[in-house]
Structure 1
Amino acid sequence: MRLILLGPPGAGKGTQAARLVERHGIVQLSTGDMLRAAVRDKTPVGLRAQDIMARGELVPDAVVGEIVADRIEAADCARGFILDGFPRTVAQAEILKDLMAQKGLTLDVVIELVVDESALLGRIEKRARESGAAVRADDTPEALKKRLEVYRAQTAPVSDYYRAAGLLQTVDGMLNVDEVTERIEAAIKASVA
């Protein structure tokens, strides 16, 4: 099973991805983790990314696409994977489509967690309290507002892209965690049937 979880910051993607990993024996692929691993392992694409990051620039979509392409060939991805943090833009969705086609792979489903943005700050503050850790620097009201603006401008159009491709399933992310998991499982079952 190969899927993407979409949704704004604080929607519960990480929680649901962890449950999917456990239930289905697939891996969660975070582009940030993949990028750091490629740099650490000094892969050819990792070295290019390291040079770009050393200049303080954003890693271009094509380089991120190469890192994803390398990672999905790893043995632990044979049963499937969840993409986390990629694609973030329609351009990246096009890159993913092309690289999956080159590998003879397809996405099974794209699940978007739909949430009430006004409730996200409370959810993020609760997450910080329950974890016993300090609120992350990017989980302040000001940072969340900015992250939501970026999400709406860059990532929300990805939903329309996958809706047009017939791959998008939406799930009410405001339900309790177990209900969201059940709805995700139903969406997966409907998509891979």
Structure 2
Amino acid sequence: MQANRNTPLAASIQEKLDHQGFLTSAELNPLLGLAIEHAMQQKDLKGILIDGFPRCEEQLNSWAQWPFQDKLPLEGDGKPDVVLLLNVTRDNAQARYMARGRDQNDSLDKFAKRFTEYLTEGPPVERYYREAGLLIDVDNNGTVEENIAGLKRKLSESSLWSHAVMDQEMRSFFLL
């Protein structure tokens, strides 16, 4: 969204994030499509990481079929090869949210609303990817250095990750 922040779509998305929470696929998919198109134009592309998507069933369902087939044809089903779930406690999430200083409207009330929405809307997405055998759980409650080391350790131990990164085809990864 940063690259497109001066567009009407970005303004409407920011308004919704400030007041209502999760975006619908109609709002989010055009920006994802632009980002994926840009990424696919890069040399030596090994994969695409999509951070924080999908966060709810509506977003998940919008990708039941690759939503960009007309503009970005993709062989296969367009599903991710790996989904990383970075687990964090409410206290740690709140502290990080308040410390990030990304938005002048960040507040404890806004955090509480969004975290509650995450707890309500996220489990079906997590369950879907867990049942599909694509989910890697990672504890993300330490310092930045501890979290990076833990992520590297978890990925090095994962046969799912090894299979995904060893293949030379373009891969996609979701980060929930």
- Which TM-score band applies after superposition, normalised by the shorter structure? 0.5 to 0.7
Q: Which residue of 1 aligns with 2:149?
A: 182
- TM-score, L = length of structure 2: 0.62
2:110 matches 1:137? no
Cα distance in 2, alignment partners of residues 135 and 150 from structure 1: 19
What are the equivalent positions in structure 2 for 1:34-183 lying under 5 Å apart?
36=4, 40=7, 49=9, 53=12, 60-62=24-26, 64-74=28-38, 75-76=41-42, 78-99=45-66, 103-104=74-75, 105-125=78-98, 127=99, 136-138=104-106, 140-183=107-150
Distance 1:179 1:161, change over 3 A: same
Q: Deviations over 1:113-160 (max 9, x none)?
A: 1122134333444x35xxxx698422x222211111111122343211
- TM-score, L = length of structure 1: 0.58
Distance 1:66 1:137, change over 3 A: closer
Task: Report which of the two has the higher share of helix.
Answer: 1
Distance 1:61 1:165, change over 3 A: same
Cα distance in 1, alignment partners of residues 79 and 103 from structure 2: 38
Aligned residues: CA RMSD: 3.5
Opposite residue 167 of structure 1, the aligned amino acid is L
Q: Which has the higher contact order (CA 8 A, sep 6+)?
A: 2
Report percent identity of matched pairs: 23
Distance 1:108 1:152, change over 3 A: same
**Structure 1 unmatched ranges of 5 or more:** 1-31, 41-46
**Structure 2 unmatched ranges of 5 or more:** 163-176
Opposite residue 105 of structure 2, the aligned amino acid is A
Secondary structure (helix, strand or coil) at the match of 2:49 reads: strand
Residue 100 (structure 1) shift: 7.5
Q: In the alignment, is the contact (CA less than 8 A) between 1:65 and 1:96 conserved in 2? A: no
